[in-house]
Amino acid sequence: MPDPADRARVGTDPTFPRLHGRPRRGWLNDPNGLAHVDGTWHVFFQHNPAAPVHDAIAWGHVSSPDLLHWTEEPLALVPRPGRPDAAGCWSGCVVDDGGVPTAVYTAVTAEASDGQVLLATSDRTLRHWQQAATAVVPAPEGPTVTEVRDPFLVTVDGRRYAVQGAGRPTRDGRPQLLHWACDDLQHWEPLGPLLDDDDPVAAAVAPANIWECPSLVALDGRWVLVLSLWRASGDGVGELAGVRSLVGDLEPAGAGLRFVAASGGVLDAGPAFYAPQLLPDGDRVLLWGWAWELDRPPEQVAAAGWAGVLTFPRELTLVGDAVGVRPARELTALRSAVLPAAEPVTAAAFEVLADGPVGLTLADGDREQPVLDAAFGAGGPVRVLVDGSLVEAFAADGRSLTTRAYPTPTSHWRVDGPARVHRLELPGPG
């Protein structure tokens, strides 16, 4: 159960996003294991419950019956001394394997380069997990691929495949997505690259040294691939360089498949968005991403006791060869009282609805911080959702922008342009 002291501290923290599912303390990064099981949505994520730093990564877990009300669940996967995941349970996915919820994740013993694929199984509450003792896929042996991670499973024409991000963390490293046949999760058949930078569209749209966090889904008769870009900026040092989407086709290639990209683009234009994962859900595809802390001094992070936020759930859209996103349809239920748009906004969470360009500024005394430029909304209606320090903006053409700005007890928001503003809060029962 959450510590009452944490609840009290968060209750007075104007930067904490209360409507987004996350623990009240600790580090959070990549969403993992998105699942919709027996009417409940489950979101797992990279989590260090002990401190707001990336260390000893476990899988945190929140659940929801409606994508609005989130419950913090017990830790799902935890590092185990002497096992392949001794140094961390890194990113992966959850699949329903013949009725058995199964996590497929990257296990790290000491270094990123020793990543192996491990399995864990649960009952259908997804609260009680049994982590395997040995890996189903060993660490890579190079030389062109020295790091692999983030397995994502997809079924194509009745056969199940796993896709892994891969590459080498050097300036001359070339990214790949590896794929495996894994109808039997205990026995994986290597099939080689699903995609590499010999593909001219991928090379132009998604330059990187490692492709991370791949998600591959069918949408409106096409295949959509989302991946995150890791670029080497020095020896052993990397830059997380944004997220790209590719639209294309899957073609037979030997015993496996080849993704052939037709188009691609930036999935989110903001400075605080990375490592999204996709979840096919009936007639739609849902998406969550990680919004990191943006230019926040370490002493403020330490004092807050938490770092990193999951975005609101979003829906993937496809118009022609262009991939976009919009807020999940359920989020309209958060709208409550209408606030005067011409007056300072002090609500902890609110939504801005505009028929055209609109800007957003965070003001504190004489200090003003531009947060959203009105140019983002040129060309049609705009929605901006603010919850604590997390700002998520959506344009009519499917563009999104995720950023962070940190209110204080004395600050207020200013909406720059004609708009309607709603306070956001959880709806009551019924």
Mean per-residue pLDDT over the chain, rounded: 94
User: Burial letters for 175-210: b for 16+ Cβ neighbours within 10 Å, e otherwise?
Assistant: bbbbbbbbeebeebeebebbbbbebebbeebbebbb
Domain span(s) for CATH 2.115.10.20 in the chain: 20-136, 140-267
The pLDDT-based confidence of 65 (bands split at 50, 70, 90) is very high
Between the CA of residue 100 and those of 30, 31, 59, 125, what are the distances in Å? 23, 21, 18, 10
Residues paired with residue 59 on neighbouring β-strands, in sequence order? 46
- Candidate from 183-197, 227-241, 253-267, 377-391 with smallest mean pLDDT: 227-241
User: Is this prediction's pTM over 0.85?
Assistant: yes
Peptide bond into 81 cis (omega under 30): no
**Exposed/middle/buried for 409, CB within 10 Å: 0-12, 13-18, 19+?**
exposed
Contact 118, 132 (CB under 8 A): yes
Residue 236: is its pLDDT beyond 90?
Answer: no
Q: Which pLDDT does position 378 carry in this prediction?
A: 82
The set of residues, in sequence order, having a beta carbon less than 8 Å from that of 416 and lying 6+ positions away, is 358, 359, 360, 361, 374
Q: What is the mean pLDDT of residues 167-171?
A: 91
Angle made by CA atoms 308, 403, 405, in degrees to the nearest 5? 80
Contact 190, 203 (CB under 8 A): no
CATH 3.30.70.20 fits 140-267, yes or no: no
Q: What is the mean pLDDT of residues 67-95?
A: 97
The pLDDT-based confidence of 178 (bands split at 50, 70, 90) is very high
Strand (E) or helix (H) holding 8: helix 4-11
Nearest Cα neighbor of 142 from 117, 119, 169 is 169
Reading across the β-sheet that carries 412-416, which strands appear in turn? 367-372, 359-364, 412-416
CB atoms within 10 A of CB 237: 9
Residue 85: is its pLDDT beyond 70?
Answer: yes
pLDDT, tens digit (0-9, with 9 covering 90-100), for 15-32: 999 999 999 999 999 999
Nearest Cα neighbor of 395 from 371, 410, 375 is 375
Q: Which pLDDT does position 115 carry in this prediction?
A: 86
Between the CA of residue 85 and those of 45, 105, 107, what are the distances in Å? 16, 10, 4
Q: Which pLDDT does position 113 carry in this prediction?
A: 59
What is 295-343 written as a DSSP string?
Answer: S--HHHHHHHTEE-EEPPPEEEEEETTEEEEEE-GGGGGGEEEEE-TTS
pLDDT, tens digit (0-9, with 9 covering 90-100), for 90-134: 999 999 999 999 999 999 997 655 789 999 999 999 999 999 999
The pLDDT-based confidence of 320 (bands split at 50, 70, 90) is confident
Residue 382: is its pLDDT beyond 60?
Answer: yes
Q: Which CATH superfamily is domain 20-136 in?
A: Glycosyl hydrolase domain; family 43 (2.115.10.20)
Residue 424: is its pLDDT beyond 80?
Answer: yes
What backbone torsions phi and psi does residue 7 show, to the nearest 5 degrees? -60, -45
Residue 425: is its pLDDT beyond 80?
Answer: yes
